[in-house]
Structures are given as C-alpha cells and as structure tokens.
C-alpha cells in the first residue's frame, strides 16, 4: 500500500461521512464521530506501516508527489493533529450542539478528514500547482468549519472575516504564482531553484513574485503584517476549530513556506540575501505584534490567538536562519521540530479552555481563578502546557526557541534577537498570569464547586502533559525523525 492510497482513503471517508450525515439524519453524532476518528486512526496506523519509498507511488502521482523526510514528517503531523481535533470536537459536543442549527454538526466531523488529506498532499507537493490545489482544499474546508456554529453571532462574523481575507490572500498567492512562472518559466520548486541561480534571470521580477507569494502565504500562517484576522477569527469560532487553525493550518502553511524558501534561497540564488532579510524583518515584527498585545488581553482565547501569532514569528525567524550549521537540522527541520513541540502544548491549552468553558464559565482569565482547587489535575497539566508555551527549560517548548536564538546569534541579527527576547519575556508574563490565576484562591465561594472531568478528557490531558515533559527532557527521537543521518555523515558523503 502506498501513502497516496491512504490520502485518497481519507478524502473518500470524509465525503462518505458527509453524505451519510445528509441522508441519514437520525444517526447520532457519537456514531459519526466514532467513524471519523476511526478512519483517522486507521489511516495513521496504515501510514506507520506502509512503504515510504517514492517507488511505491503510482506512476501518475510521482510527477507531483515527493516523499522526503519533511514530507513524511508533516503527513504524520497532519494525521495526529486531525485525530486530536476530532477528539476535542467530541469532548466539546454539548457546546457545539447548542450553537449549531438543529444541534447537528456532522460536517464538523467529516471535514477534518478532508482537511487532513489536503495537508498530506501539500506536504509532498513538488510544484506550486499542487500546492495551490491542496491549499484550497484545506482553506475551503476551513471556511465551513469556522462558521459551522451558526447560531453564534461571533462565529458568523469570524466566518465572514476568514472568508473575505482568505479569498483575498488566495488571489494574491495566485498572482505571485503567475509572476514566478513568468520570471522563471517553471512552476516546480526544482525549476524555480534552478532559475534563481541563473545569472540571466530578472532579479526584480523574482523579488516582485516573492513578495506576492510571501504575502499570500503570510495570511495562511499569520505572519505580520497579514495577521490582522487572527484574533477575531480565533476568538469567534469554536474551540476545536481554533485549535485546528492554530496547529493544522499553520503547519500546512509552513511546509509550503519551507519548500518555497528553500527554493528561493538555494545556494547561489540571486535573491538569497534579500529574501532572508525580508524574513528576518517580518519575523521580528510578527513576534512583537503577537506578544505585545497578548499582554493586555483579558480573554484567554484571544490571548492564545495573539500568542499563536508570536509563535508564527519565531517560526519565520527559524526559517530565516539559512546558514546555521550548528544543528543536525536544516532551517526547515527546525521549523518542523518547533511545530511538533507546539502541537501538544497548544492542544492541551485549548483543551483546558474548552473544559472550563463547558462548565458554564466564560473564557476570561478570571474564570481560571481557583482552578487548582476545583480540579488539581487539570490545573497541573495546564501549568505544564503554559510553561511549555512560555519556553521554560525541561518542557518541550524550550528547545525550539533555543534553536531559533542560537541560529540568530550566529548570524549576528541583534535587532531581531532583541525583538525575540522582548517577545519571549512578554510570553513569560502572559502565560504565567494564567498559572498564577489558577493557583490563587477563588474569592467567590459559590463558584468553587469541583469541576467535572470526563474520562476521555482526563486521558487526553494527562497524555498531552506527559508528551510535553518527555519531549522536554528527551527530544532525541524527534530529532532523529527529522534528521535520519547526522550532518557530519552527510558532509562525509559529499
């Protein structure tokens, strides 16, 4: 069985579930959800077992499909994210029922499978056309997901904002693709890289195309100055979809950015220094416009949205560190590493928020007051998650940030380092504010009743908390996954 078959299976499973939901409205959501999670888990198991050789792909696919280390990593990442989001959707079912028409949300269970297939295709894309098609598969599904909780006005508002800005960014991206084709005569990453090194290429045209491509992708990954939609959309839509946007959509954007930047800044590229400069500048700004407003948020969800922008900034900075020879990981590998550590902590943070929200409390920081009394387990696990998001040593979040900082110090980008330090310091403040709230005594005794934690939520909480701690002290397997051969061996091979 090839990887491609699994992707087709996922997309088909999503469509079948959509039809089942439409024609058999009596089927309870638990059955649908079980089928969705079952398909995703089955796909993941098959994925672990299937052949990872390019030769295993059907002939017509291998023209636009590659299976390198990064592609394989991001495919697994997409599957894990989808399983976690579906799990989160089931935990949030009571809330979703309240805000969907007739209490039905079958499409929210089916669409993540299609999104997952899109993200998996995107990970192996060899040319911009494949990127564009799979990106649209993901984005269009997200338009539906964001506004699926239709009885909630803020969700509709979020849906409209996401739709308009998403469509605009798609337009910009296509314009960029057209220009890059004009400038290089190729749509494949290989062809673009080759054209970038040719002395005869038109540098201005290349840069013009790059600007539009970066703007288009900037929307998807929440890079400044294209991050404006993030707080409103993240806050408006339901928590599982926010999680999906924050992890899945961001990872999908970054695999494309990684491939694109790798091609544009290939050794000897005419526009290498310019592209790196643009990335450093935008990354620094992104860190600041994410983390500084986060300090002033009173809503935890909105705070997490801003913090997600700040993390995108760190990821862009990681991508900018092209020449770092310090690590066994390439720039794209560091981005992948950062995202892999970002996944458990973000999902755990949003899960905690969902549980607090489901108990009838709001999403404000004050609703977290006294959580340690009401549910010591949840408070402990959330402490781990937020400490990791802040980048405390011994948690998963530390190493990714450390790679970025070391990479920047090597390049001597002191202005960018200053911005990143400010961002990280602000992060410590706004994440620890929630931890402090959780451990302060609840002033209002009436609200201090014990918090009900279902078995599945409890398992998910503890599992994610453990993953954060284990990755924090033993990240070696993850590094091995991203860099099967150490750099020393690669250099020896050359």
Binding site for other proteins (CB under 8 A): 325-328, 376, 380, 392-394, 399, 405-406, 409-410, 439, 473-476, 479, 486-487
Q: Which is nearer to other proteins, 190 or 410 (CB)?
A: 410
Distance CA 334, CA 479 (A): 9
211-242 CB burial, b ≥16 within 10 A, e <16: bbbbbbbbbbbbbbebbebbbbbbbbbbbbbb
Query: C-beta of 328: minimal distance to other proteins in Å?
Result: 5
Q: Which is nearer to other proteins, 254 or 405 (CB)?
A: 405
Q: Which is nearer to other proteins, 111 or 379 (CB)?
A: 379
Q: Which is nearer to other proteins, 267 or 491 (CB)?
A: 491
Q: Which is nearer to other proteins, 229 or 327 (CB)?
A: 327
Does residue 427 contact residue 435 with C-beta atoms inside 8 Å? Answer: no
| Structure tokens belonging to residue 328 | 């066994």
Q: Which is nearer to other proteins, 194 or 409 (CB)?
A: 409
Query: C-beta of 297: minimal distance to other proteins in Å?
Result: 22
Distance CA 129, CA 132 (A): 5
Residue indicated by tokens 């526009």: 271
Distance CA 99, CA 114 (A): 23
Query: C-beta of 483: minimal distance to other proteins in Å?
Result: 9
Query: C-beta of 72: minimal distance to other proteins in Å?
Result: 21
Distance CA 210, CA 176 (A): 7
| Structure tokens belonging to residue 247 | 């992890």
At residue 157's C-alpha, the angle toward residues 153 and 159, to 5°, is 115
Angle between helices 128-146 and 250-264 (to 10 degrees): 160
Does residue 423 contact residue 313 with C-beta atoms inside 8 Å? Answer: yes
Residue indicated by tokens 């002290």: 473
Q: Which is nearer to other proteins, 306 or 405 (CB)?
A: 405
Query: C-beta of 474: minimal distance to other proteins in Å?
Result: 6
Query: C-beta of 322: minimal distance to other proteins in Å?
Result: 15
| Structure tokens belonging to residue 388 | 């990791």
| Structure tokens belonging to residue 182 | 């004009």
Query: C-beta of 71: minimal distance to other proteins in Å?
Result: 23
């Amino acid at each position: 069985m090839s990887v491609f078959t699994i992707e087709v299976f996922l997309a088909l499973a999503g469509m079948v579930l959509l039809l089942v939901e439409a024609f058999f409205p009596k089927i309870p959501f638990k059955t649908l959800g079980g089928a969705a999670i079952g398909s995703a888990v089955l796909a993941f198991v098959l994925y672990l077992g299937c052949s990872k050789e390019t030769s295993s792909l059907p002939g017509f696919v291998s023209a636009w499909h590659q299976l390198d280390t990064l592609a394989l990593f991001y495919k697994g990442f997409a599957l894990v994210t989808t399983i976690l989001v579906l799990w989160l959707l089931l935990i949030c079912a009571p809330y979703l029922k309240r805000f969907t028409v007739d209490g039905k949300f079958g499409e929210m269970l089916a669409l993540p499978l299609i999104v997952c297939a899109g993200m998996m295709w995107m990970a192996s894309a060899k040319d911009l056309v494949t990127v564009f098609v799979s990106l649209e598969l993901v984005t269009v599904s997200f338009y539906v997901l964001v506004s699926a909780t239709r009885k909630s006005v803020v969700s509709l508002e979020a849906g409209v904002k996401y739709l308009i800005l998403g469509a605009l960014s798609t337009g910009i991206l296509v314009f960029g693709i057209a220009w890059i084709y004009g400038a290089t005569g190729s749509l494949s990453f290989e062809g673009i890289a080759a054209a970038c090194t040719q002395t005869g290429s038109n540098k201005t045209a290349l840069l013009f195309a790059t600007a539009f491509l970066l703007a288009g992708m900037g929307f998807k990954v929440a890079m400044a100055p294209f991050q404006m939609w993030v707080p409103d959309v993240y806050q408006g839509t339901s928590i599982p979809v926010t999680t999906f946007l924050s992890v899945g959509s961001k990872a999908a954007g970054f695999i494309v950015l990684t491939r694109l930047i790798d091609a544009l800044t290939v050794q000897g590229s005419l526009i290498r220094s310019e592209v790196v400069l643009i990335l450093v500048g935008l990354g620094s700004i992104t860190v600041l416009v994410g983390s500084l407003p986060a300090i002033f948020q009173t809503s935890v969800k909105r705070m997490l949205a801003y913090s997600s922008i700040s993390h995108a900034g760190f990821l862009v900075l990681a991508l900018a560190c092209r020449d770092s020879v310090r690590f066994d990981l390439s720039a794209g590998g560091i981005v992948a590493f950062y995202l892999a550590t970002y996944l458990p902590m973000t999902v755990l943070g949003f899960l905690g928020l969902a549980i607090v929200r489901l108990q009838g409390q709001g999403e404000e920081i004050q609703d977290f007051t006294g959580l340690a009394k009401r549910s010591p387990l949840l408070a402990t696990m959330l402490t781990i998650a937020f400490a990791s998001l802040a980048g405390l040593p011994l948690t998963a979040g530390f190493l990714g940030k450390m790679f970025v900082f070391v990479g920047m110090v090597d390049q001597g980008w002191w202005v960018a380092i200053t911005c990143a330090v400010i961002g990280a310091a602000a992060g410590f403040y706004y994440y620890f504010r929630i931890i402090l709230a959780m451990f302060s005594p609840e002033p209002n005794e009436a609200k201090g009743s014990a918090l009900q934690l279902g078995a599945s939520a409890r398992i998910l909480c503890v599992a994610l908390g453990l993953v954060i701690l284990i990755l924090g002290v033993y990240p070696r397997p993850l590094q091995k996954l991203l860099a099967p051969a150490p750099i020393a061996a690669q250099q020896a091979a050359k």
